[in-house]
Structure 1
Amino acid sequence: MLHPHTEVRFISEEIGRGVFATRPIPKGTVVWVQDHFDRVFTEAEVRSLEPVYQEILETYCFRDRCGRWIFCWDNTRYVNHSFSPTCILTPYGFELAVQDIEVGQQITNDYGFFNIIEPFDCIPEEGCQRSRVLPDDILRYADIWDARLAEAFTFFNSVAQPLSGLISKESHDIALAIAKGERNADSIRCCYFAGENACSHA
């Protein structure tokens, strides 16, 4: 589920829609939580569907560390890519705002978090040398993303968290411990899909 203080707006014919903040969202706020309405597909289930459904899933899904396809039921699917994302995925089933997001500012992810299957080119961004998203970006840029998350977690206890009730108790307890400095956050590398045997125990 996406943070309630957001809305979808049309941006341009080239980009399409995006998600924007309708109120300030401070750094350290949980902006998205994987919830019970989000649909989870195995690779076999995806490939058993008619091509029209596969195309929709390939456009709007991301893959988790087990290679499962996650189809978000709400406006999360309209969150656009940026090489300087306002939010970053954690290994705990939620995303954090890694900067203060102002009213009217776009909610963005780096799609390099999401175990994409094929590389793709992106609209150039000022001041950024990256122009493509690659399947192993999560390994390439984990240290940068981990550092941004570590800083954001320090604000977890001091900002409003309207989605906190949807976070599992285990993940919430971990987040609290990280915020208090009682433990370090796990690396975003934990979200990387390393192949078909990555979660054979799951």
Structure 2
Amino acid sequence: MLHPDTEVRFINKNIGHGVFATRLIPRGTAVWVMDRFDRVFREEEVRALEPVYQEILEKYCFRDRQGRWVFCWDNTRFINHSFHPTCITTPYGFEIAVRDILSGQEITNDYGFFNIIEPFDCLPEPGCPRTRVFPDDILRFAPEWDRQLAPAFAAFALVEQPLAGLIKPEFLDTLARIARGEVQPASIRTCYFDPAAAGQTDGQTHA
């Protein structure tokens, strides 16, 4: 489920739509939490579907650490890619704002978090040498993303959390222990899915 203080807006013909904050969403806020309405497909289920449905899933799904395809039921599927994302995924079933997201600012992810199937090219962004997203980006950029996540986790208990009721209690307990300095957060590397280790052969394009 997506944070309530968001809306979909049309950007332009090249980009299409995106998701924007309608009021300040502070750093440390859970911006999206996986909920019961999000549909999860196993690889074999996806491949058994008619091509028209496969195309929809390939465009809008991400893959979790087990290689399952997750189709978000709400406006989350309109969140665009950025090499300077406002939100980063976590090993705790939600995405968190890694900086203050101002009213009117676009909510973005780096699609390198999401176990994509094939590399794809992106428009260049100021201050970033990357122009392509790869399936193993989460392994290469985990140290940087973990660095950005650390202060966001520290702020989690200090800001309003409209979606906290959807986060699993055991994860909330872990987040509280992280905030108290009792444990270190799990690395985003743990969200990586290795198709070779799972015996899968990827051959579809994911956007």
Partners of 1:67 and 1:196 within 8 A in 2: no
TM-superposed deviation, 1:163: 0.1
Query: Is 1:52 the equivalent of 2:52?
Result: yes
Deviates more, 1:45-54 or 1:173-182: 173-182
Instruction: Name the TM-score, length of structure 1 as normaliser.
Output: 0.96
Gaps of 5+ in 1: none
Cα deviation, 1:33-85, whole Å, max 9, x if unaligned, reads 00000000000000000000000000000000000000000000000000010
Query: Is 1:155 the equivalent of 2:166?
Result: no
Gaps of 5+ in 2: 200-207
Show structure 1 runs of 4+ deviating over 2 A: 195-199
C-alpha separation between the residues in 1 aligned to 2:9 and 2:179?
33
C-alpha separation between the residues in 1 aligned to 2:175 and 2:13?
39
Counterpart residue number, 2:25: 25
TM-superposed deviation, 1:195: 2.5
TM-superposed deviation, 1:160: 0.1
TM-superposed deviation, 1:141: 0.2
Query: Is 1:128 the equivalent of 2:128?
Result: yes
CA RMSD of superposed structures (Å): 1.1
TM-superposed deviation, 1:95: 0.6
TM-superposed deviation, 1:196: 6.1
Partners of 1:42 and 1:69 within 8 A in 2: yes
Counterpart residue number, 1:36: 36
Counterpart residue number, 1:145: 145
Instruction: Name the TM-score, length of structure 2 as normaliser.
Output: 0.94
Letter in 2 for 1:127: G
C-alpha separation between the residues in 2 aligned to 1:82 and 1:73?
22
Counterpart residue number, 2:203: none
Counterpart residue number, 2:188: 188
Determine helix, strand or coil for the equivalent of 2:35: coil
Determine helix, strand or coil for the equivalent of 1:9: strand
Letter in 2 for 1:184: Q
Letter in 1 for 2:46: V
- 1:79-94 pair list within 5 angstroms: 79-94=79-94
C-alpha separation between the residues in 1 aligned to 2:95 and 2:146?
12
Total equivalences in the alignment = 199
C-alpha separation between the residues in 1 aligned to 2:29 and 2:78?
19
C-alpha separation between the residues in 2 aligned to 1:111 and 1:197?
21
Counterpart residue number, 1:72: 72
C-alpha separation between the residues in 1 aligned to 2:108 and 2:118?
20
Partners of 1:65 and 1:198 within 8 A in 2: no
Determine helix, strand or coil for the equivalent of 1:99: coil
Determine helix, strand or coil for the equivalent of 1:4: coil
Determine helix, strand or coil for the equivalent of 1:56: helix
TM-superposed deviation, 1:175: 1.1
Percent identical among aligned pairs is 69
